[in-house]
């Protein structure tokens, strides 16, 4: 067993255990922290595949960005310290049935699919220039259109956030 395989099983175990803990934990903040572990371990997978750019993106966006936002919003809500109530038994059973059906379907698809070994294909280091050119490329496999659409969407979201956060003029004088 090589170190790579060992690391793969280690990271998979972390992801599996903490994913289950994320949804079964009845304390909100703990669930968010378990989610952080899952996302960091996923970044570990990308490092294992030598795709460092995606790993760093995973760390900044998901672990550093989204989890921080989730924790922030949890801290700003009132009932953090309360435990969730146990779900009603019919809900629990429905959930378990959905889980069993879903996982059998996924497993069946995975196991019946004929995977082709890709050992003879050499890994290519993903250059920063390549990613930049592809992201803003107009030609084949270029992503410039989706890139621009996402930028417009982000701009709209930002303006919306400012409009929501903006105070009325009459209130402004006595709060600040």
Partner 1 sequence: MLLDIYSFSTLTASINKDLHAAMTPWLAVATELVLIGLLFLTFYALLGLFLVYLERKVCAVMQNRIGPNRVGKWGVFQTIADLIKLVTKELIPIKNADSFLFNLAPFIVIIASFMAMAALPFAKGLQAIDFNIGIFYIIAVSSLGVVGILIAGWSSNSKYSLIGAMRSGAQVVSYELSVGLSLLAIVVLSGSMQLSTIVESQANGWWIFKGHIPALIAFVIYLIASTAEINRGPFDLAEAESELTAGFHTEYSGIKFAFFFLAEYINMFIVAAIAATLFFGGWMPFHIDHWEAFNRVMDYIPSIVWFFGKTFIIIYLIMWFKWTFPRLRIDQLLNLEWKYLLPLSLMNIVIVSFVVLMGWYF
Residue numbers at the binding site for partner 1 (CB under 8 A): 2-3, 27, 29-30, 33, 36, 40, 52-53, 55-57, 59-60, 63-65, 67-68, 71-72, 75, 80, 125-129, 176
Q: How far is the CB of 39 from partner 1 (least distance, A)?
A: 10
Q: How far is the CB of 96 from partner 1 (least distance, A)?
A: 27
93/147 with CB nearer partner 1: 147
3-class DSSP state of 168: coil
80/98 with CB nearer partner 1: 80
52/106 with CB nearer partner 1: 52
CA dihedral 76, 79, 85, 91 (to 10 degrees): -40
Q: How far is the CB of 34 from partner 1 (least distance, A)?
A: 10
Residue with tokens 């379907």: 105
| Backbone φ and ψ of 80, nearest 5° | -70, -45
Q: How many angstroms separate the CA atoms of 93 and 24, rounded?
A: 14
Q: How many angstroms separate the CA atoms of 28 and 84, rounded?
A: 8
Q: How far is the CB of 28 from partner 1 (least distance, A)?
A: 10
Which ranges in 49-168 belong to alpha helices (H)? 52-58, 67-76, 89-112, 128-135, 144-165
75/96 with CB nearer partner 1: 75
């Amino acid at each position: 067993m090589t170190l790579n395989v060992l690391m793969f099983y280690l990271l998979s175990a972390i992801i599996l255990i903490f994913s289950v803990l994320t949804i079964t934990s009845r304390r909100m903040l703990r669930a968010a922290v378990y989610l952080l572990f899952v996302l960091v371990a996923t970044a570990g997978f990308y490092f294992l595949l030598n795709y460092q750019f995606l790993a760093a993106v995973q760390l900044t966006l998901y672990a550093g960005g989204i989890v921080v936002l989730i924790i922030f919003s949890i801290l700003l809500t009132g009932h953090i310290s309360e435990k969730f109530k146990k779900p009603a038994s019919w809900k629990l059973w429905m959930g378990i049935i959905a889980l069993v059906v879903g996982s059998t379907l996924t497993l069946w698809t995975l196991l019946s699919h004929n995977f082709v070994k890709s050992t003879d294909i050499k890994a290519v280091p993903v250059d920063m220039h390549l990613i930049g050119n592809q992201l803003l490329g107009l030609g084949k496999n270029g992503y410039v259109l989706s890139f621009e659409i996402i930028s417009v969407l982000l701009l709209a979201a930002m303006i919306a956030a400012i409009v929501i956060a903006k105070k009325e003029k009459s209130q402004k004088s006595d709060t600040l």
